[in-house]
Amino acid sequence: MKRIYLIIAFATLVNITFAQHSDWIVKFDRKPDISQIITRSSLFSSIEVLSKTLNVYNLKTSKEVLSNDIYKLLPQVQNVSYNAPVEKRSVTPNDVLFDSQWSLKLIGADRVWEETTGGKDFAGKDVVVAILDDGFDINHQDLVENYWINDGEIPNDDIDNDNNGFTDDFMGVNIQDNTGIHPGVLHGTQVAGIIGARGNNARGIAGINWNTKILLVSGVSNIGQIIEGLEYLYDLKKKYLDTNGAEGANIVVNNFSGGISFRFPSEFMDWCDQYDLLGTVGILSVGSVANADFDVEVEGDLPTLCDSDHLIMVTNSDISDTKVLASAYGLTSVDLAAPGEEIISTGIGNDYKAISGTSASAPHVAGAISLLYTVSCDGIAEAINNDPSSFALTVKNAILNSVDVLPTLDKTLSKGRLNIFNAIFELNEICGESNLEELSINAIRPNLISRNDMYNGLSVDYNTNVFKEHQVYIHNTLGQLLHKSSFSPSIFGVRSINVNVDKSFAPGTYILSIVESGKVASSKFVVFNK
């Protein structure tokens, strides 16, 4: 035991001794004489109090030194540690391939995750995204927790338990043979990963909606199967509405990354009619345009030309924010672009594969729509409850009105590329946040605080129209910094934060400041002895 102890002590000593820094946290055995410390050695450039109660200070040196040098020069020091930067506990996921997911930052998904990472709506109901495709890997480690489960069905008993015309559709349906058995196919698995791969689980990738429920409709290879698959979704959503959420599925959007080039709606009206039908129960439909450079309004494309308000058609943009040449366009029928080149996503057998084309673009939009439905806002919940069909159009307009306009997308309806973060602000009016103001402090409560009550902290009401990290500083009237912290404002939340202060604050006047990108708002508060 003695040998082990000596080894540990030596390792600790090495770690301290050989680390040279100029910014230190120093604890003294009693209140130090600051002026004497500064004059004691030219090595010490500044010293600021961090905790008067515990005699902890921030000591800076004119050059990088060892901690032992500080111990030698200041004998009353009890402890010295490097003023190390801390990690940001933000919502950046820990998925190992996240850094390769260039499209998520481009469309502002990482900034939206400060507000919501998806999952349930304001009423606590699962938000469901349906995918029509060829097949899916139902056991993929990044998807299996996010698949929608039909609670009305008992798996593998060969009985249609919920009487919806499909046997054993416990995890969606294979529309080709009306079973619940899905072929394990790459394309659908990749689409599912873009929309809803489990986020922040230290595996693979993060989907746009970390915790959504993905409803699978596989075996789709012809128009008849598309129509039948869309009808399946309509029945589930209608049942959900009719039973007030007790049965069915809360489907808000479906994605179909397929179609037929050089055809017009007059040839397949029954297909187009399904999108209006789904719209009546509040389901938006997202589709991908053809992977070829032509004008759909001249040469034809389906479902792009289907005339439904509840349909959104997506073309392809790349990492340089340029429309991909091999993707169709149309001034009134192609709504917007989304990233679709070399998008890393889920593959077969817990693998991860890149996918390119409009098949990857459309699920970015479907995922964005599902994420907007999870924003915590009374107004959104009320709008969904009152008229799900109209609210679906509100979400569509929010998506289209908030794009990043790009010159290569001038031949699309919105003339831009998806930006989910911007889209949230289009919902401001519904959420009662239409008047976003410049940075300011409205009130500090209490403005006059007894030292005996300081453990409750200060409540600071503020305004801001920027939704990234802000800093909070408290200085005394001598300009000494006594407190520093940071916070990220909630887009729809209350504009109020709690700032912790303690009894180390002596009676007097203090200045609290909120700072963001060079903008500063300040207000005073007073501490007194009770």
Give the pLDDT confidence score for residue 4 in this predicted structure: 33
Domain layout of the chain by residue ranges: 16-82, 98-425, 440-528
Give the pLDDT confidence score for residue 19 in this predicted structure: 57
Q: Which two tokens stand for residue 257?
A: 């990354």
Give the pLDDT confidence score for residue 84 in this predicted structure: 60
pLDDT value at 217 more than 90: yes
User: In terms of residues, how long is the chain?
Assistant: 530
Query: For 70-88, what is each residue's pLDDT tens digit?
Result: 888 888 888 887 776 543 3
Query: For 449-467, what is each residue's pLDDT tens digit?
Result: 887 777 678 999 999 888 7
Please check whether residue 255 is in contact with residue 208, taking contact to mean a CB–CB distance below 8 angstroms: no
Mean pLDDT, residues 231-256 taken together:
96
Residue 508 is inside which H or E element, if any?
strand 508-516
Q: Which residue has the higher pLDDT, 425 or 247?
A: 247
Q: What is the CATH number of domain 440-528?
A: 2.60.40.1930
From the number of C-beta atoms within 10 Å of its C-beta (0-12, 13-18, 19+), residue 269 rates as exposed
Helix 269-280 crosses helix 223-242 at what angle (to 10 degrees)?
A: 20
Give the pLDDT confidence score for residue 440 in this predicted structure: 94
Please check whether residue 333 is in contact with residue 348, taking contact to mean a CB–CB distance below 8 angstroms: no
Please check whether residue 252 is in contact with residue 282, taking contact to mean a CB–CB distance below 8 angstroms: yes
pLDDT-derived band at 436 (thresholds 50, 70, 90) equals: low
| Radius of gyration of the chain from its Cα atoms, rounded to whole angstroms | 29
At residue 433, the 3 state secondary structure works out as coil
Give the pLDDT confidence score for residue 93 in this predicted structure: 85
- 406-409 own/partner pairs: CB under 8 Å, 24+ apart: 406/317, 406/321, 406/322, 406/323, 406/337, 408/317, 408/322, 408/323, 409/315, 409/317, 409/323, 409/336, 409/337
Rounded to an integer, what distance in angstroms lies between the CA atom of residue 40 and that of residue 33?
A: 11
Highest mean pLDDT among 38-52, 109-123, 226-240: 226-240
CATH class held by domain 98-425: alpha beta
So what's the architecture of 16-82 in CATH? 2-Layer Sandwich (3.30)
pTM of whole model > 0.85? no
Q: Which residue has the higher pLDDT, 148 or 375?
A: 148
Query: For 92-116, what is each residue's pLDDT tens digit?
Result: 689 999 999 999 999 999 989 988 9
Among the ranges given (319-323, 444-448, 463-467, 509-513), the one the predictor scored with the smallest mean pLDDT:
463-467
Average pLDDT value for the chain: 89
pLDDT value at 228 more than 50: yes
* Alpha helical stretches, state H, 374-499: 378-386, 388-401, 420-425
Q: Which residue has the higher pLDDT, 529 or 295?
A: 295
In this prediction, what percent of the chain has a pLDDT beyond 90? 63
Query: For 11-43, what is each residue's pLDDT tens digit?
Result: 222 233 335 788 888 888 888 888 888 887 888
pLDDT value at 7 more than 50: no
pLDDT value at 433 more than 70: no
Query: For 320-369, what is each residue's pLDDT tens digit?
Result: 999 999 999 999 999 999 999 999 999 999 999 999 999 999 999 999 99
Helix 388-401 crosses helix 269-280 at what angle (to 10 degrees)?
A: 110
pLDDT value at 132 more than 60: yes
* CA nearest to 422, candidates 461, 371, 380, 383: 371
